[in-house]
Amino acid sequence: MFKRIIALLIGYLSLFTVVNDIPTTSYDEFMQWVSSLVLNPFRFVISAFLTLIGVIAYGIMIKTVITDFKHTRAQSWVVGILYCAIVLVSMLSLYHMNQLLIFILLPCSVIYGIISLSQRNVIERGQEGAE
């Protein structure tokens, strides 16, 4: 559970930084931000890296929530529901900061989580056949 909370914290902080950095209130502010990225490539690399880390972290969390509810025992329901609530609250707080970016980044995270979930199933089926 500690690793999950650390992954959530890393994903939240990276997306928090990206969401607060990218202006979406007006077209002029956004274009000024894009021109600053062109003139300062290090800022672009950091922004892209943080976005990638955040999307991957939330994708892993979505995969974890799905697998927890798929393979649960009676005593772990509370932990699974608590973790799911923490993930939803963190996504909701990011949504309130910048709705447009979260509408773009959340589907990317969901798709990554589903792909990694299906990849896990393929690996498990391959190991069953090897035995």
pLDDT digits (tens, 9 = 90+) for 88-119: 898 899 888 888 888 888 888 888 888 887 76
User: Which pLDDT belongs to residue 49?
Assistant: 92
Kindly report the three-state secondary structure assignment for every residue of the chain: CHHHHHHHHHHHHHHHHHHHHCCCCCHHHHHHHHHHHHHCHHHHHHHHHHHHHHHHHHHHHHHHHHHHHHCCCHHHHHHHHHHHHHHHHHHHHHHHHCHHHHHHHHHHHHHHHHHHHHHHHHHHHHHHHHC
Residue 19 structural domain: 2-130
User: Which pLDDT belongs to residue 114?
Assistant: 82
User: Which pLDDT belongs to residue 53?
Assistant: 92
User: Which pLDDT belongs to residue 124?
Assistant: 60
* Whole-structure pTM value: 0.78
Domain count, the chain: 1
| Structure confidence by residue, pLDDT tens digits, 30-79 | 888 888 888 888 888 888 899 899 999 988 888 888 877 777 665 567 77
User: Which pLDDT belongs to residue 74?
Assistant: 57
User: Which pLDDT belongs to residue 76?
Assistant: 67
| Structure confidence by residue, pLDDT tens digits, 116-131 | 877 666 566 665 555 5
Residue 29: pLDDT band (50, 70, 90) is confident
